[in-house]
Amino acid sequence: MLAAPAIAVPVLPRIYELNREALARWCEDHGVPGYRADQIRKWIFGKRVDSFAEMHDLPANFRALLAESFSLFPATVTEHRVASDRTEKLLLQLHDGELVECVLMREPDRRTVCISTQVGCAMGCVFCASGLRGLKRNLTTGEILEQVLRLDRLLPRDEAITNLVVMGIGEPLANLRSLLPALESLNEKGGLGLGARRITISTVGLPEKIRELAQIGKAYNLAVSLHAPDEATRSRLVPVNDKIGIDAVLAAADDFFAITGRRVTYEYVLLSGVNDAPVQARQLAGLLQSRVAHVNLIPMNHVDELTFVEPTAPRTQEFVRILTEAGVPATVRKRKGADIDAACGQLRLHQLEPAASAPV
Ligand code: SF4
């Protein structure tokens, strides 16, 4: 197992940390026309090069200057796992030794990537491996983008990322400052060109941040991790709920819908004997019946360090039936990458605590 170095290694800034305008300014400051920025970005986002040397339509001395000034993919891939369903997961080590995970999921008509926004997480959801060691730090815009660009390079030439979910390690809305510029680059034409409607941001429900996201004028999707219909159960599962409360979360999600017109998805991890009872399904239906909402039920991904288990299939179906009959659309998320520790934060946790990890 790889031990994290204690001392941070200096690293050149990732070139895509600069947005198009900033890169054009940098070019002009170095005596090169601003349009070179578009060429550079085309090589990175469109043509998937791995080095400045491959950017053939740039003058050789300019390519050398870029290589002296910026990095492209400074993180180290410490693990690359491929599941039997062709889900791929990368564990990246950053310049300061910290680890983050990102995942590529394949479905017949979709190529979805799931990325992290923080090293660790402060929210402490009790069923999640990512929160077990708390929050270390926010990721930068470049560190967020590097995950997507590396996953994009795992795809063959004739395939492209179709969907992005910000559901990996961390609470995305706690790091909007880095996340929003990254999404902008992925969304814009000179970047990855990924439609805003194909980007979903997940949150435990930070009301002010939900409203901030709603105000930016982008059609991103919001997924609120509700996980329980009553305060006591939710506070047990998502401790930050103690300070917020379900009503405040739902009110903010209502505002998001009112401002953006985008239907809100409510995520609900089904945990046997904890939040999967028919009475809880009815309570959840009561909360969401009057709202334009969709419930995404997530079977618990096994985590060795945690004791929760997934409900049986009949129990899950009963939960879906109650919601659907009450007029609340609900689907059960397909399990992806179960044989490669694809649950959020598992691979990182097993690197940090090798003794606790089971063989895969
Ligand atoms: S589920 Fe998300 S918000 Fe909760 S601890 Fe895990 S990463 Fe953080």
State the Cα–Cα distance between residues 29 and 65, nearest whole angstrom: 12
C-beta of residue 101 within 8 angstroms of C-beta of residue 155 = no
State the Cα–Cα distance between residues 212 and 174, nearest whole angstrom: 11
Q: Which of 17, 98, 101, 310 is catalytic?
A: 101
C-beta of residue 45 within 8 angstroms of C-beta of residue 20 = no
Kindly indicate the confidence band of residue 127, based on its pLDDT and cuts at 50, 70 and 90: confident
The whole-number pLDDT of residue 221 equals: 97
Per-residue pLDDT tens over the stretch 235-258: 999 999 999 999 999 999 999 999
Indicate which atom in ligand 1 lies nearest the CA of residue 203: 3
Per-residue pLDDT tens over the stretch 261-290: 999 999 999 999 999 999 999 999 999 999
Q: What is the mean pLDDT of residues 20-30?
A: 97
Residue 56 has a CB neighbour count (10 Å cut-off) of: 11
Distance from Cα 1 to the centre of ligand 1, integer Å: 25
Whole-number average pLDDT of the chain? 91
DSSP, collapsed to helix, strand or coil, labels residue 300 as coil
Per-residue pLDDT tens over the stretch 67-114: 999 999 999 999 999 999 999 999 999 999 999 999 999 999 999 999
Q: Which helix (H) or strand (E) holds 357?
A: none
Query: Sign of torsion, CA 120 171 8 70?
Result: positive
The whole-number pLDDT of residue 349 equals: 67
Does position 2 have pLDDT exceeding 50, yes or no?
no
Indicate which atom in ligand 1 lies nearest the CA of residue 170: 7
- Given phi > 0 = left and psi -120 to 50 = alpha, else beta, which region is 97? left
Indicate which atom in ligand 1 lies nearest the CA of residue 169: 7
> What are the Cα distances from residue 317, in Å, to 125, 127, 323?
25, 21, 10
**C-alpha triplet 278, 283, 289: angle, nearest 5°:** 115
Query: Which of 127, 130, 300 for mutating ligand 1's site (highest number of atoms within 8 Å of CB)?
Result: 130
Does position 28 have pLDDT exceeding 70, yes or no?
yes
The whole-number pLDDT of residue 320 equals: 97
Indicate which atom in ligand 1 lies nearest the CA of residue 171: 3
State the Cα–Cα distance between residues 20 and 113, nearest whole angstrom: 23
Does position 134 have pLDDT exceeding 50, yes or no?
yes
Does position 291 have pLDDT exceeding 60, yes or no?
yes
The β-bridge relationship of strands 293-299 and 330-332 is parallel
Query: Sign of torsion, CA 55 60 62 67?
Result: positive
Distance from Cα 126 to the centre of ligand 1, integer Å: 9
State the Cα–Cα distance between residues 328 and 290, nearest whole angstrom: 9
Task: Determine the length of the chain.
Answer: 360
Does position 189 have pLDDT exceeding 90, yes or no?
no
Distance from Cα 155 to the centre of ligand 1, integer Å: 28
Kindly indicate the confidence band of residue 17, based on its pLDDT and cuts at 50, 70 and 90: very high
Task: Name the more confident of 348 and 318.
Answer: 318
146 is catalytic: no
344 is catalytic: yes
The whole-number pLDDT of residue 288 equals: 98
Instruction: Determine which residue's CA is closest to atom 4 belonging to ligand 1.
Output: 125
Kindly indicate the confidence band of residue 7, based on its pLDDT and cuts at 50, 70 and 90: low
The whole-number pLDDT of residue 355 equals: 38
Task: Name the more confident of 227 and 8.
Answer: 227
169 within ligand 1 shell (Cβ under 6 A): yes
The whole-number pLDDT of residue 208 equals: 98
Q: Which helix (H) or strand (E) holds 76?
A: strand 76-82
Kindly indicate the confidence band of residue 351, based on its pLDDT and cuts at 50, 70 and 90: low
Kindly indicate the confidence band of residue 200, based on its pLDDT and cuts at 50, 70 and 90: very high
Kindly indicate the confidence band of residue 356, based on its pLDDT and cuts at 50, 70 and 90: very low
3 state SS for 132-156: CCCEEEECCHHHHHHHHHHHHCCCC
The β-bridge relationship of strands 221-225 and 264-270 is parallel
Q: Which helix (H) or strand (E) holds 223?
A: strand 221-225
- In this prediction the pTM is 0.92
Query: Which of 204, 244, 249 for mutating ligand 1's site (highest number of atoms within 8 Å of CB)?
Result: 204
C-beta of residue 223 within 8 angstroms of C-beta of residue 296 = yes
Indicate the Cα dihedral angle 307, 313, 319, 320, nearest 10°. 130
Query: Which of 115, 118, 125 for mutating ligand 1's site (highest number of atoms within 8 Å of CB)?
Result: 125
Does position 346 have pLDDT exceeding 80, yes or no?
no
Name the DSSP class of 204.
S
State the Cα–Cα distance between residues 185 and 189, nearest whole angstrom: 8
In terms of Cβ atoms closer than 10 Å to its own Cβ (0-12, 13-18, 19+), residue 170 is: buried
The whole-number pLDDT of residue 360 equals: 22
The whole-number pLDDT of residue 335 equals: 75
C-beta of residue 151 within 8 angstroms of C-beta of residue 102 = yes
Per-residue pLDDT tens over the stretch 295-314: 999 988 767 777 888 899 99
